[in-house]
């Protein structure tokens, strides 16, 4: 059986690991990245608490000793179901069984203007870009004398109060409290506002009411401005326009407000529901003989999850393992078994000592330090690579005792401004960043 897996995320990697060295099965694992990224800790990369490498694991290293798994680092351009082939930017590959495990990407709900100006955080590279932007904004703020203008550089607006938004808001508020006033003694950080926005009634809407209430309390304690039932209508890079007409001035809008599946070309639009591919209880794409979808990209309706499973690492991992067992069963001529998610619970962390956990069996809600520690232990255990776990743990310990996020490595945008343009900035009366933007534009245009 020639199996192609597209995507070495949580779902694809666990599927490939379960098929590793199994007789009668040859696997080609395709991913556009050379590494598996641990998305739950991206916000810690964005806020200088972890190095990108500590949450990334080289895909090839997982299968160094494998006899039946081959890897291609390529972007899949299309699936050709009629030919049983996958077309990538490096070649076309045949399959007997195809598994789509391409995960999800940021959803701007069709607003291209917001997409062009806001910062997403779905990949390690995007988390690094976000860190760059935050650090560069603080550096630029030093040159801005007008307090209103300075507030715009310092303030951060996060759209989406799910776990990602809540975790980011908490981590940025810890930076504001512990690290930034020491790094930038010339800046009054009372000018730095952190907004958390959501169209729903409360943060962590997918968790219990108790978790939501705890999150509201913790976010208040951290001085985060929460605006619920607020929808971002527009953003021009300087001002966030809300649907109630209010405007929040900021240079940084972080978009954590929605995701949609990375549906490869070749999957019929009729098979896609809310950005996910419709699958049956065996993860088989509806109407297809030999194409499966697992993880975030898969929409499976079950009696327990009528609207599909939540897009979580635990679902992706368990679907990957379950499909591997089913493919092995089919290869032996045995019938496949239906999938259902065994939900043990959901959790989120807001800041040091401030976490929330909803356990399923027994039904129980935890908060505070206990929930925060449980979150750390679980997330460290989900990561690939012993070295990564040790590095993450050391960084957490260091931060615990030092209250510092030390990894403030950022690329500064000097090269965008020519010497002549810099000279011009010095002679201008208007706020320097504006002059700098003008100079950058002139430099780019070769003036
Ligand atoms: C910021 C953030 C925080 C999160 N926190 C949590 C958390 O705390 N707990 C939790 O359970 N879940 C969390 N999640 C969700 C969790 O990360 C996802 O549910 C999980 O990653 C889904 O796994 P997957 O294998 O379906 O997709 P992914 O892990 O996204 O993997 C998809 C893979 O497919 C590859 N790919 C995509 N398109 C192509 C293509 N065309 N060609 C080749 N390769 C391609 C990608 O490079 C990627 O490696 C979080 C997600 C984010 C973004």
pLDDT single digits (tens) 237-254: 999 999 999 999 999 999
What gap in Å lies between CA 389 and CA 369, rounded to an integer? 21
Q: Write out pLDDT tens, residues 93-128.
A: 999 999 999 999 999 999 999 999 999 999 999 999
Question: Does residue 230 have a pLDDT over 70?
Answer: yes
Domains of the chain: 2-32+74-104+260-331 (3.50.50.60), 112-257+345-402 (3.50.50.100), 414-444 (no CATH)
pLDDT of residue 75: 98
Question: Does residue 423 have a pLDDT over 80?
Answer: no
**Would you say the CB of residue 158 lies under 6 angstroms from ligand 1?**
no
Q: Is pLDDT larger for residue 71 or for residue 50?
A: 71
Coil, strand or helix: which one is 362? Answer: coil
Q: Whose CA is nearest to atom 35 of ligand 1?
A: 7
E strands, 68-224, in order: 69-73, 76-80, 85-88, 92-94, 97-100, 104-106, 119-120, 156-159, 194-198
**Would you say the CB of residue 266 lies under 6 angstroms from ligand 1?**
no
Question: Does residue 137 have a pLDDT over 90?
Answer: yes
Q: How far is the CA of 294 from the centre of ligand 1 (A)?
A: 11
Question: Does residue 430 have a pLDDT over 80?
Answer: no
**Would you say the CB of residue 12 lies under 6 angstroms from ligand 1?**
yes
Q: Write out pLDDT tens, residues 320-353.
A: 999 999 999 999 999 999 999 999 999 999 999 9
Per-residue pLDDT, averaged over 181-208, amounts to 96
**Would you say the CB of residue 44 lies under 6 angstroms from ligand 1?**
no
pLDDT of residue 326: 98
pLDDT of residue 428: 61
Instruction: Give the tokens for residue 136.
Output: 């560069």
pLDDT of residue 188: 95
Per-residue pLDDT, averaged over 395-420, amounts to 71
Question: Does residue 435 have a pLDDT over 80?
Answer: no
Per-residue pLDDT, averaged over 51-70, amounts to 94
What gap in Å lies between CA 176 and CA 180, rounded to an integer? 5
pLDDT of residue 433: 65
Instruction: Give the tokens for residue 253.
Output: 């809008």
Among 39-53, 229-243, 397-411, the least confident range: 397-411
Query: Probe ligand 1: pick from 14, 316, 346, max atoms within 8 Å of CB?
Result: 316
- Distance set, CA 126 to CA 37, 43, 110, 268 (Å): 12, 10, 20, 29
Q: Which residue has the tokens 């930034």?
A: 180
Q: How far is the CA of 167 from the centre of ligand 1 (A)?
A: 17
Q: How far is the CA of 10 from the centre of ligand 1 (A)?
A: 7
Q: What is the pTM of this model?
A: 0.90
Q: Checking DSSP bridges between strand 69-73 and strand 26-31, what pairing results, if any?
A: parallel
Provide the 10 A C-beta neighbour count for residue 26.
Answer: 16
**Would you say the CB of residue 75 lies under 6 angstroms from ligand 1?**
yes
Task: Label residues 195-214 b or e (16+ Cβ within 10 Å = b).
Answer: bbbbbeebbbbebbeebbbb
Answer for the pair 64, 18: CB distance below 8 angstroms, yes or no.
Answer: no
State the average pLDDT for the chain.
92
Confidence of residue 431 (pLDDT cuts 50, 70, 90): low
Among 264-278, 314-328, 416-430, the least confident range: 416-430
Q: CA Rg, the chain, in Å?
A: 24
Question: Does residue 415 have a pLDDT over 70?
Answer: no
Q: How far is the CA of 234 from the centre of ligand 1 (A)?
A: 27
Question: Does residue 412 have a pLDDT over 90?
Answer: no
């Amino acid at each position: 059986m020639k199996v192609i897996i597209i995507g070495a995320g949580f779902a694809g990697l666990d599927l490939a690991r379960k098929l590793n060295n199994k007789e009668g099965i040859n696997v080609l694992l395709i991913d556009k990245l050379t590494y598996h990224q641990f998305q739950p800790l991206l916000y810690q990369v964005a806020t200088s608490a972890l190095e990108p490498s500590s949450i990334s694991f080289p895909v090839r290293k997982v299968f160094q000793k494998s006899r039946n798994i081959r890897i291609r680092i390529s972007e899949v351009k299309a699936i050709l179901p009629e030919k049983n082939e996958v077309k990538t930017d490096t070649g076309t590959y045949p399959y007997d069984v195809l598994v789509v495990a391409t995960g999800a990407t940021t959803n701007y709900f069709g607003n291209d203007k917001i997409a062009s100006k806001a910062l997403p955080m779905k990949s390690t590279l995007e988390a690094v870009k976000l860190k760059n932007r935050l650090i560069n904004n603080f550096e630029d703020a030093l040159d801005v004398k007008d307090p209103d203008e300075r507030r715009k550089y310092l303030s951060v607006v996060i759209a989406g109060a799910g776990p990602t938004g809540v975790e980011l808001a908490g981590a940025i508020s810890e930076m504001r409290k512990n690290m930034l006033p020491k790094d930038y003694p010339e800046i009054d950080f009372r000018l730095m506002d952190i907004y958390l926005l959501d169209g729903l009634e409360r943060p962590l809407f997918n968790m219990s009411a108790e978790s939501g209430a705890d999150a509201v309390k913790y976010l208040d304690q951290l001085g985060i401005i929460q605006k619920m039932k607020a929808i971002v209508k527009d953003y021009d890079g300087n001002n966030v326009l809300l649907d109630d007409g209010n405007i929040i001035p900021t240079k940084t809008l972080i978009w954590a407000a929605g995701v949609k599946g990375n549906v490869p070309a070749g999957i019929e639009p009729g098979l896609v529901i809310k950005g996910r591919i419709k699958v049956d209880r065996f993860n088989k794409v509806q109407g297809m003989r030999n194409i499966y979808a697992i993880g975030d990209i898969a929409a499976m309706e079950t009696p327990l999850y009528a609207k599909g499973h939540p897009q979580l690492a635990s679902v992706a991992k368990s679907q990957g393992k379950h499909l591997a067992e089913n493919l092995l069963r089919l290869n032996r001529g045995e019938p496949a078994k239906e999938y259902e998610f065994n939900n043990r619970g959901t959790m989120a962390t807001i800041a040091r000592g401030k976490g929330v956990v909803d356990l399923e069996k027994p039904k129980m809600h935890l908060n505070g330090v206990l929930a925060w520690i449980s979150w750390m232990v679980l997330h460290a255990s989900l990561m690939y690579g012993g070295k990564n776990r040790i590095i993450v743990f050391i960084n957490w310990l260091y931060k615990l005792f030092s209250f510092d996020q030390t990894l403030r490595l950022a690329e500064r945008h000097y090269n965008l401004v020519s010497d002549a343009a810099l000279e011009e900035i010095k002679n201008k009366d208007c706020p320097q960043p504006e002059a700098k933007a003008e100079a950058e534009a002139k430099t780019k245009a070769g003036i």
